Amino acid sequence: MTAIHERHLFGPGPSNPYPEATAALAEPLLGHLDPLFLTLMDETCDRLRAVWGTQNARTLPLSATGSAGMEAAFVNTVHEGDVVVVAVNGLFGRRMCDVAARCGAEVVAVEHEWGEPVDVDRVLSAHPDPRIIAAVHAETSTGVRSDVAALGAGKGDALLVVDAVTSIGGIELRADDWGIDVGYAGTQKCLGVAPGLAPFTINDRAFERRVEKPRSWYLDLGLLGGYVGEAQGSGGRTYHHTAPTAMVASLHAGLGRILDEGLQAVWQRHADAGRRLQDGLQEMGLELFAAEGHRLPELTTVRVPDGVDSAAVRRILLERYDLEIGAGAGEYASTVWRIGLMGRNARPDAVALVLTALREVLEEVRGTTVPG
Amino acid sequence: MTAIHERHLFGPGPSNPYPEATAALAEPLLGHLDPLFLTLMDETCDRLRAVWGTQNARTLPLSATGSAGMEAAFVNTVHEGDVVVVAVNGLFGRRMCDVAARCGAEVVAVEHEWGEPVDVDRVLSAHPDPRIIAAVHAETSTGVRSDVAALGAGKGDALLVVDAVTSIGGIELRADDWGIDVGYAGTQKCLGVAPGLAPFTINDRAFERRVEKPRSWYLDLGLLGGYVGEAQGSGGRTYHHTAPTAMVASLHAGLGRILDEGLQAVWQRHADAGRRLQDGLQEMGLELFAAEGHRLPELTTVRVPDGVDSAAVRRILLERYDLEIGAGAGEYASTVWRIGLMGRNARPDAVALVLTALREVLEEVRGTTVPG
């Protein structure tokens, strides 16, 4: 490795971790069965309940990244041949279809134009009696927020599976009030912790309908329950696998920082930063990609101006300013940028930096002045 | 959390990380698509090839713990109904049977007494034409080393799947020379890195026979290949999932430390520490559990003396000396201790500490002098 670079991580994730989360990574390591670690794990699960907005006993950090959370959601709930209705309004909805199908689901994909929120009526009427309805709360590929509460209100007998990877810790999320039966997330976005864990929650209703012996041993919630959640307070712990103790300690610290600041205050901070960024981009004459009224504050999508080399701009930002923004996803790879201001980065100084740097680079590559 | 405790992690893992590995965890985080991170990932894969003893292009750290490595091994290679012969001489051989069966295997379990090495002849003659033969190189539950090279020499057309979780970086391991087709490991034992990643390797022979679309999306080696390994040097990277960048940086640093010291020297250090520990325990009148001639230096199993409360001794060691040793596994939970001197802890000072502390506690709980 060459010299260490301090990057501004303003892409779609990971974001720069909260300092408390980074410091915890380097604290002396604990064993996964140490009483001190078990206490830390219990507290972490409590803190996760707070950010999920849930009372679910089975709320825990899975020992893998957010995508494994998606897999855990489906591998534990999809019985062979179950109808799963998936709202697809971006890359992660599309991925849900793939993962659910591998678990044996009969997938009914409800396609949307990218940049648009989920059409709740179309999703709810896509099948007369689905076992599962699945949707992404905050689409990382497009920067769009969808109305999960409305899906929960209309789900009927179906289970509602929700991807909260980019929403948790950044915008309002109320798993219990909104009728979310199974939810998964990641640590590396608005929670402000390095990537590596998948915060997960499942309620009793979904757990009772679960697959008794899922194809995955690693993600089998029936087995995992013996290690966290269910056994909490009983004193009886069953070894399942070696928990990633450094990462859990880091998540514990990051969540502590968020709850100390106050969840409402953190949401407000994200809302403010996102608004400032989106206003500033429009003042520069740039066009936002996500549909108005459904834009995520923590992840902004903006169209690359005509004639501008998207990758060249990103490269200059990275090399000169140590500033990372994301390319667009899928077919929008070269026509959209994704700018994330998540967790620690949801601050006015970050907004000012990214707007200034982007203006300077755009003026340079276009040879003209940018308004705003 | 209460005050930070600095534990001596002398159980079956995790071990105390190398200082270089801990420091890397706290360095500024990189994005998973940052060119600097891709270089770091490539170097990590190169370093993993060195400790595996392989030239396999598909050698990478999976983004989950060692148990997910086991799952990846089987979910990518077991086609419905395939005969998988598993050598079971401890907990992890038993787990292999469970995981392989969930992947659709017809499992032929070859049972052994715990504490004994794998009987190569019995395993090789257990079925006339198995698709896969699987064994644990270093059984974490019993402290026993088995002869993987002999299994490789006699495997015929079968694929050889090997668990190297507790052997990698601690004792001789030569994946290519020994005929290992698929291998998985963990970071938290002799590699001296926190738990959270599964070093994995698969050769062309196994990859060509793989399941085209395995049940697991997260562990699908066909998809993962686009992100690391196969694409190395080609410049083309496909996003699969967000790599746990802090953990990969830590693994990179831990492996760097090992290779700087020299792999042979590291093996010798483990051998020396294990011999000193095992000699010392026997001089104290204690009886080793693993069969003589097959004892792992990095993980020693010793019988709890008659009349001694196993858990009480472990509790005093932890509370007074901040020293963790492991209980026995399975039915040996209260009759065997497991003492690991792995990675950073494979040193004479660690041996001296654990022997002295154990002697003091045994004298206290028994009210007599312990010899040696």
Alpha-carbon distance A153 to nearest alpha carbon in chain B (angstroms): 30
Contacts A27 to B, Cβ<8 Å: 4
B chain contacts of residue A29, beta-carbon cutoff 8 Å: 7, 9, 14, 16-17, 22, 194
Cβ contacts of A117 within 8 Å, gap of 6 or more: A89, A144, A145, A146, A147, A291, A294
CA–CA gap between residue B84 and residue B371 (Å, rounded) = 48
Indicate yes or no: CB of A216 within 8 angstroms of CB of B216.
yes
Greater model confidence, B354 or A230 = B354
How do B323-324 and B8-9 pair as beta strands?
A: parallel
Residue B75 amino acid letter? V
A348, A279 Cβ separation under 8 angstroms: no
CA angle A365, A368, A371 (to 5 degrees): 110
* pLDDT score recorded for residue A166: 98
- B341 min Cα distance to partner chain A (Å): 14
* DSSP assignment of A65-103: -HHHHHHHHHHTT--TT-EEEEEESSHHHHHHHHHHHHT
Strands A132-136 and A83-88: parallel
pLDDT tens digits for B186-219?
999 999 999 999 999 999 999 999 999 999 999 9
Q: What is the pLDDT of residues B154-182, one digit of tens each?
A: 999 999 999 999 999 999 999 999 999 99
What does the pLDDT read at residue B227? 62
Cβ atoms of A303 and A287 within 8 Å: the answer is yes
Q: Collect all residues of chain A within an 8 Å Cβ-Cβ radius of residue B30.
A: 5, 7
Would you tell me the crossing angle of helices B263-283 and B245-261 to the nearest 10 degrees?
80
Residues of A in contact with B22 (CB under 8 A): 26, 29
Contacts B40 to A, Cβ<8 Å: 1
A12: closest chain B residue by CA:
B31
Token pair for residue A348?
A: 């006015």
Residue A96 in contact with residue A160, Cβ under 8 Å?
Answer: no
Residue A229 has pLDDT above 60, yes or no: no
ipTM exceeds 0.90, yes or no: yes
Given this model, what pLDDT does residue A2 score? 47
Query: What does the pLDDT look like over A81-93, one tens digit per residue?
Result: 999 999 999 999 9
> What's the Rg (C-alpha) of chain A?
21
B17, A6: Cβ pair inside 8 Å?
no
Q: Are A27 and A199 in contact (CB under 8 A)?
A: no
Closest CA to B189 of B57, B55, B69, B39: B69
Closest CA to B126 of B93, B85, B157, B159: B85
pLDDT at res. A234: 44
Of A31, A71, A195, the CB nearest to B242: A195
- Are A63 and B63 an interchain contact pair (Cβ–Cβ within 8 Å)? no
Residue-wise DSSP of A267-318:
HHHHHHHHHHHHHHHHHTT--B-SPTT-B-SSEEEEEPPTT--HHHHHHHHH
A244–B247 CB contact, under 8 Å: yes
Out of B29, B39, B98, the one facing A16 most closely (by C-beta) is: B29
Distance CA B244, CA B253 (A): 15
What pLDDT shows up at residue A236?
A: 56
Least confident of A178-187, A290-299, B217-226: B217-226
Contacts of A32 in chain B (CB under 8 A): 14, 195
Assess whether pLDDT exceeds 60 at residue A38. yes
